[in-house]
Amino acid sequence: MKLFRIGLQLLIVAALVSFSIFPSTLASYTSEDSGSDTALIAKWNFSAKGETDTQYYNKGFTFNLFDGKTVAPMDAGEKSFSLKSGRSDVAVAYNIEMNANELIKLTSGNTAVIATHSGKDVYAPFIFKVSAAMNTGATDSPPIVFQTDWFRLQDTSRDGEGYFSIFDLTDGKPTFSPGSTDEVTVTIQWQWNTSFYINDTAVATVTPNPDTNIGSGRYLPYYQAAYDAYYAPGGLQDQSTAAFKAVDTYLNVHGSPLPDGTWPDGDFAEYNSLAAAANAAVEACNTSLLRAYDDYDTFAAHALNAKPLVQVIFRISGEQMQPN
């Protein structure tokens, strides 16, 4: 018995940025002087750009998190984008929200069979990690991300449209001060990592492992461990082979039962014990962690392939703050 790794071109995922500025026109404020009100126009230059862009944009830009490439199980990558106030005359409160509703639950009308266990829900097995850094010499306070570790989309608190802020907004939105020349660079890391999802199926219990260092193996560490448990010397495959060989050896030595149900040279109890061991070895293969990973990934890949487009959206907003 042999398990095969998925040999499919799995999915093309587009990740786009929706870039919005509030207000979208020039900011204005009122200054009092000698008892008369004078409306002044403040320079507003809040803008952003992708890591490969050579200029900043204040209306929008394309940010492709997955580089428009085919994504397969255990793939990983990262992309960055930057934003700045551009010396705007007013302070700018900014926020970055993420939306990836199509990368959450994949089992809606039907459930999956994972390692022979039916009725299981499957989620797109992506994990993400965000970080934010200011440019060298920045004077404004850096934004605080909502979480510094890897996270799953379904574990976030999303609004009705599916958006959630990548910043910790406990003390309000991060800000650029008036006239700021600072820049914020946000980096989004991602992985297809099923070890963060398999526990939900109750088929297996593992410690999620985001390590991407393959080392001397063939796969990421979380999958390599399952692969070795199955294929390494003395693993599940060898145990299954040995169990069936023991049954064959017994039959070769003692023959088979006669049509009348007797077995002159054999012992039913001993044979049944060997057969039970062989059946248990097959069951161990069919319910192995390797089989669970492969079943989960296969279902996820087909479900994502069935979608016409899968988007990860980042909504960047900047809002003028009333001057003191």
**Out of 64-68, 287-291, 320-324, which region has the weakest mean confidence (pLDDT)?**
320-324
- What is the structure's pLDDT at 37? 47
Banded pLDDT at 67 (limits 50, 70, 90):
confident
List of E strands, the chain: 11-12, 14-19, 28-33, 36-41, 47-50, 70-71, 76-84, 92-99, 112-114, 117-120, 126-134, 164-165, 175-176, 183-192, 311-320
The mean pLDDT value for 181-187 works out to: 96
- What is the structure's pLDDT at 289? 97
The structure tokens listed for 127 are 């994990």
Calpha distance 244→248 (Å, rounded)? 6
Calpha distance 183→168 (Å, rounded)? 18
- What is the structure's pLDDT at 23? 44
Omega cis (within 30) before 23: yes
Banded pLDDT at 82 (limits 50, 70, 90):
very high
Q: What percentage of the chain exceeds 70 in pLDDT?
A: 86
Highest-pLDDT range among 193-207, 256-270, 308-322: 193-207
Helix count (H) and strand count (E) of the chain? 4, 15
Global pTM reads 0.85
- What is the structure's pLDDT at 20? 52
Calpha distance 30→167 (Å, rounded)? 31
* Inter-residue contact 203 to 112 (CB < 8 Å): no
* Inter-residue contact 309 to 33 (CB < 8 Å): no
Calpha distance 193→242 (Å, rounded)? 33
